[in-house]
């Protein structure tokens, strides 16, 4: 029906067969797959496009991806919660997801406005990562949990060995910096707010700031430990 609709309005529907071959999943409902690849900006220039943009599917896919990777890490690594969180972050951050999306050739299928299509660097990485999450959401809706688990295991979790060998597991400061750069396009900075105690037993309260706004603070026995504690608390703040 979607193909007929496109032809009726003189629009050439995108052939997604090669992509399905690449991801090793054949969709029963191609509309879900096409929606996962439709960026909001495309609708601004193509008002008659019949499908929704991919943000709702991205929302769903993000949750599915986090659940499946978390379960895998829990079952296969005896590490404490903090280390598991770092491992998961290294697997599902936008840079990693954009790399996987590029390897799958997803950028050849995403529908964008002419302006967005010219974006490069971090902006393009975020678009690719979001489309990757939307693809996972669409896959879950179309084929269910086990098929989606298989896809995530083969294309996302298999990156874990490389992440570990390359030492790419993110510490709290790196994670917080990545988060602020992804959401706001800025790098956080740290300031010592207070220090107390004798020289052999100093304590430092350090604040982490974004655009001169204090997001959180933390206390440590050194400035570096205070910064790490501040970053950990910053990661818990929902409103950046």
Structure tokens at 149: 């688990």
Candidate list 58, 62, 227, 232, residue with the active-site label = 62
Among candidates 182, 158, 175, 183, which has minimal Cα distance to 86?
175
Query: 213-220 and 189-196: which strand pairing?
Result: unpaired
Active-site annotation holds for 133: yes
Yes or no: say if 209 and 190 are a contact pair by the CB < 8 Å rule.
Answer: yes
Yes or no: say if 104 and 23 are a contact pair by the CB < 8 Å rule.
Answer: yes
Q: Report the distance separating Cα 28 and Cα 18, nearest Å.
A: 15
Gyration radius of the chain over CA positions: 21
Alpha helix positions (H), the chain: 2-8, 17-23, 30-36, 40-45, 55-76, 81-92, 94-103, 114-117, 122-143, 145-155, 160-166, 172-184, 223-234
Candidate list 58, 116, 133, 142, residue with the active-site label = 133
Any idea which residues carry the catalytic annotation? 62, 133
């Amino acid at each position: 029906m979607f193909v007929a609709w496109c032809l009726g309005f003189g629009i050439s529907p995108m052939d997604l067969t090669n992509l399905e071959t690449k991801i090793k999943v054949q969709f029963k409902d191609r509309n879900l797959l096409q929606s996962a690849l439709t960026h909001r900006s495309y609708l601004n220039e193509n008002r008659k496009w019949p499908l929704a943009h991919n943000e709702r599917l991205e929302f769903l896919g993000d949750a599915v991806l986090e659940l499946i990777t978390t379960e895998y890490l829990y079952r296969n690594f005896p590490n404490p919660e903090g280390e598991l969180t770092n491992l998961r972050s290294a697997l599902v951050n936008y840079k990693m997801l954009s790399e996987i999306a590029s390897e799958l050739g997803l950028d050849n299928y995403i529908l964008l406005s002419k302006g967005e299509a010219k974006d490069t660097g971090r902006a393009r990485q975020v678009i690719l990562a979001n489309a990757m999450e939307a693809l996972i959401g669409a896959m879950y809706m179309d084929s269910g949990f086990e098929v989606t688990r298989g896809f995530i295991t083969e294309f996302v979790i298999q990156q874990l060995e490389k992440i570990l060998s390359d030492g790419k597991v993110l510490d709290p400061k790196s994670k917080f910096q990545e988060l602020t750069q992804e959401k706001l396009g800025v790098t956080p900075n740290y300031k010592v707010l207070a220090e107390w105690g004798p020289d052999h037993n100093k304590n430092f309260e350090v604040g982490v700031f974004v655009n001169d706004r204090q997001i959180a603070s933390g206390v440590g026995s050194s400035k570096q430990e205070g910064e790490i504690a501040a970053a950990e608390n910053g990661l818990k703040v929902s409103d950046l």
